[in-house]
Amino acid sequence: MSQFEFVTSQSYLEGFCKNAATKQVLFLDTEFVRTRTLKPKLGLLQAFDGEQVVLIDPLCDIDLSPFWALLTDPNIVKVLHSCSEDLEVFKCYCGTMPTPLFDTQIAGAFLGEGLSAGYAALVEKLLGVSLDKTEARTNWLARPLSDKQLDYAAKDVIYLEQIYQKLVPALEAKGLLQHVFDEGELMIAKRNIDKDPERMYIDIKGAWRLYPIDLAVLKTLAAWRYKEACRRDLALNFIVKEPNLITIARNRPQDLNQLKSLPGMLPQEVRYHGNAILTHVHNAMALPPEQHPARLTRLVDYPNYKKAFKQLKDAVEMAADKSGIPVEAIASKRQINQVLSWCWKLDDCDRDERIKPDLMQGWRLALLGEALFSSL
């Protein structure tokens, strides 16, 4: 069994936080549940300051503000593994995210471990320890938590410290340590951008097939669904399933009977939201044509897509050969497409409101240089 303290006491938490504030590194993890909800439900906070492991119970009557304060202490490096979802948890519960941030999955990618190396795989490869991951999908909101659950949670930060100690010298030897911190800043910047309900329709699968009048309906329904999901804290598909939004937009039902008859519509969708859906369909159809969204064009359908993608991919591969950084750490297919979308799909006003593509900022821009722009 791992050595840890299950924290339900305010005084104990404050004592740990006071001691942790004197350290240079803090190892963190979260356990949460999200099945039907839009937001994650925090079940446990794990922290290791190099001396003590604490498992903090966020469900008890305890003020977590001393712990949240540690997250933004600029003198403490926060170390997590594959922390995208953890960042969402922190944003939801305390309105901030850990910085400076070191993600061991990203660090592993710079050292050739691949983009998605799991925690257990990294522990086994670097430390020779095989972890039991059977508790990964456990119900962290249940109380009491079993000894097995708590031991599993403690190991998620105990071995994180040992991985970090292995990764940092290897990164320093290659001159890549700052790159990992830069990637942490980029992740946080992206997570800090709130979703725009009026743009939700653009990312719905199959939206590119629709005509402007259909898109007007889809845009209205997608914005309504997202706002309703936020209001009720329900996953989007528990409001209305995404494919059904497309079906409604195409058919534009005028009454409940027409809505019920649409293929794929669930009885509960019509029962709970039928009238709201019909209202939004009616309102969208009442819009003048000049207010309809323009038809969407898939990136792959642009005339020069294949040529431009290959040129960018070649530029990335040349940069990888020159720098010794693995290709996958420099740019994935998604990141290359992000650049092409930025250049082809957005106007100057849209670009002013968004973060630049990954390849057009920071260390990636410095690495690719003129090769990036000569490919466009």
293: number of Cβ within 10 Å: 20
Q: Which of 352, 353, 359, 363 is nearest to 373 (CA)?
A: 359
d(CA 364, CA 358): 7
Q: Which of 333, 338, 330 is nearest to 368 (CA)?
A: 330
Give the count of alpha carbons within 13 A of 230, CB side only. 10
d(CA 176, CA 110): 7
Cis peptide before 197 (omega within 30 of 0): no
d(CA 177, CA 299): 34
Q: CA dihedral in degrees (318, 321, 326, 329; nearest 10)?
A: -30
List, by residue number, the catalytic residues: 29, 31, 86, 152, 156
Taking the alpha carbons at both ends of the chain, their separation in whole angstroms is 56
Which two three-digit tokens encode residue 320? 């990888």
DSSP sequence for 9-62: -HHHHHHHHHHHTTSSEEEEEEEEE-SS-SS-EEEEEEEE-SS-EEEE-TTSS-
Handedness of CA 366, 88, 333, 212 (dihedral sign): negative
DSSP sequence for 151-203: HHHHHHHHHHHHHHHHHHHHHHHHT-HHHHHHHHHHHHHHHTSPP-GGGGGGG
Phi, psi of 35, deg, nearest 5: -110, -60
d(CA 79, CA 96): 16
β-strand partners of 103: 80
Residue 7 neighbours by CB under 8 Å, 6+ apart:
13, 16, 54, 55, 56, 57, 62
